[in-house]
Chain A
Amino acid sequence: MRAYQDMVFSTAVRLTANPAQAEDLSQDVFLRAYQNFDTLRTSPKVGGWLKTVCTNLTLNHLTRHRKRWRLFSEVFSDDTREEELDSATAVFDSVLSELEADERRVRVEQALEHLPAHQRIPLVLYHYEEMPYQDIADRLGISLAKVKTDILRGRVAMASLLAPGALGAPDSRRRPPSTQSGAQS
């Protein structure tokens, strides 16, 4: 269990954005694993099994509240402007090149938690779980066009949450040494 608990918890918490719910779901996953202990003990695919069960349980849990976020997902239009895309690309570029790993981890986790569910869930399924668009649409019961729009808007929204100053985060990007010393003086 120790070998997989972080993976299971991460899968659940990224989808739910709620650590308490993620812990409950992770508990359910491991209890199911113990029910199938004899099969799983010798299986080399135990990690994949746990991840699949966790994703399914979490999505089932989330679909109980789907009406709430589906309503917002219905009101969509692909009106993301090119300047927004450019600016989002620049933010992610700077997050990769300028933030320290620890800070990047915290900021990305915070940004994900602040994304609305109808953007976060397809975004996580696409980027973390590597699900194709069509599978996400089938699993969430929404159209392919909506999935694509929600993911694109989710990326742009995430960039605005990662931007310096958003979510109360200080502008702590790495600066060249000369700038840092200039700022200190």
Chain B
Amino acid sequence: MSSRDHTEEKLERLVSQVLRDQPLRQAPASLEVRVLTELAARARLPWWRRGVASWPAFVRVPVIAGCAVCVPLVWVMSLWLATRLVTVTRSRIAGPLATLRGTGHTLASLGAATTHIIQSIPREWLLGGIIASATVYAVLFALIAFGYSLLCPRPEYSKAH
């Protein structure tokens, strides 16, 4: 065992001793009052606003039996409704769907044509075009900025800052 391990072990032992020697912290006096107040408030609630476990048996049993019947019933009903909804929706949106599909085909062929055109342009021309556009854009921006600063001089107070 290295000296570091020995020191770590000693430190652990000392910390344990210091912490476990600590007495319990005294709970605030308000804790008991708060718990009792909350319990009294819960006791005042009518049975139907409490948890099912605390409902009277003559209510709890029929409710649980009713739920046992209702759950599969609701499940079957929702399946039936979902099937009906899908059928109705499909017939209603068939027309708009066909239009959308047509538009999609047109857009796809347009995209293919554009790609074909771009691929047929020599790469040097494309690069030159991009560089020329960027240069024109930068020159125009500089000219507009220069013109703006000439035409709209800054007020005196902002110059001071």
Q: Using A5-B32, A27-B31, A31-B38 as known contacts, say yes or no to A93 and B14 having CB atoms under 8 A apart.
A: yes
- B 8-28 contacts with A by CB, 8 A: 8, 10-12, 14-28
Chain A contacts for B39, CB-based, 8 A: 31, 34
**Number of A-B residue pairs with CB-CB distance less than 8 Å in the complex they form:** 90
Q: Which residue of chain A has its CB nearest to the CB of B26?
A: A6
User: Are A9's CB and B11's CB within 8 A?
Assistant: no
Binds B, one of A69-77, A102-110, A167-175: A102-110
| B30 at interface, CB cutoff 8 A | yes
A60 within 8 A of B: no
What's the tally of chain A residues with a CB closer than 8 Å to chain B? 38
Taking the closest CB of chain A, its distance from the CB of B135, in whole angstroms, is 47
CB distance from B7 to the nearest CB of A (A): 5
The residues of A that contact B19 with a CB separation of less than 8 Å are: 108, 127-128
Query: Contact partner of B14 among A2, A34, A92, A152, CB < 8 A?
Result: A92
A-B pairs with beta carbons under 8 Å apart, 14 shown: A5-B32, A6-B27, A9-B24, A9-B26, A19-B28, A85-B11, A86-B7, A93-B14, A95-B18, A96-B18, A108-B22, A127-B16, A128-B19, A155-B11
Minimum-distance CB pairs A-B, first 4: A9-B27, A92-B14, A5-B27, A6-B24
B interface, CB within 8 angstroms of A: 3-4, 7-8, 10-12, 14-28, 30-32, 34-35, 38-39
Q: A85-B4, A96-B18, A109-B22 are in contact. List 12 more A-B contacts (CB 8 A).
A: A5-B32, A8-B27, A9-B26, A10-B27, A23-B30, A27-B31, A31-B39, A92-B11, A93-B14, A108-B19, A108-B22, A155-B11
